[in-house]
């Protein structure tokens, strides 16, 4: 992931996993937010979700073995600022169960699994200029 991109850059999620579903949750961080994404995700989950949902710019979901398959959303970075990219999907979640629950949920679906992928390194920051 580059540190910065030009406005208008489109992101595409490619999932090369054979057994995990992944998502790319893109959120514009508030201008006054100075913490890194690593510091933000160390906060209690309600605070993390509040920051993410407050600037939500898009969500892309890709099931296992579906390289480039964007199930939901087109992610275009069109507004300058600092963005976080996160995967909230629980480690080990059943892909079919997750995708079914996601169709009925207005936020991150509540499905069985371990900690969200973002706690295993699936997070990044990018600046749009």
**pLDDT tens digit sequence for 37-66:** 999 999 998 898 888 888 888 888 877 865
What pLDDT is stored for residue 74 in this prediction?
61
Q: Is 122:47 a contact under the CB 8 Å cutoff? A: no
Q: How many domains does the chain have?
A: 1
Residue 26 pLDDT greater than 70, yes or no: yes
**Close Cβ partners of 93 (under 8 Å, ≥ 6 residues apart):** 20, 21, 111, 112, 113
Residue 129 pLDDT greater than 80, yes or no: yes
79: containing domain: 4-128
Mean pLDDT of the residues in the chain:
86
What percent of the chain is modeled with pLDDT above 90? 43
């Amino acid at each position: 992931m580059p540190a910065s991109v030009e406005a208008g850059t489109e992101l595409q999620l490619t999932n090369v996993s054979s057994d995990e579903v992944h998502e790319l949750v893109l959120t514009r961080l508030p201008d006054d937010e100075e913490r890194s994404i690593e510091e933000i995700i160390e906060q209690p989950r309600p605070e993390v979700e509040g920051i993410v949902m407050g600037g939500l710019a898009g969500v892309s979901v890709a099931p296992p073995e579906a390289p480039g398959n964007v199930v939901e959303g087109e992610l275009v970075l069109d507004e300058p600022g600092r963005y976080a990219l996160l995967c909230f999907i629980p480690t080990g979640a059943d892909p079919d169960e997750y995708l079914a629950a996601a169709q009925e949920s207005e936020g991150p679906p509540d499905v069985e699994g371990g900690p969200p992928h973002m706690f295993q390194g699936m997070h990044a920051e990018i600046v749009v200029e």
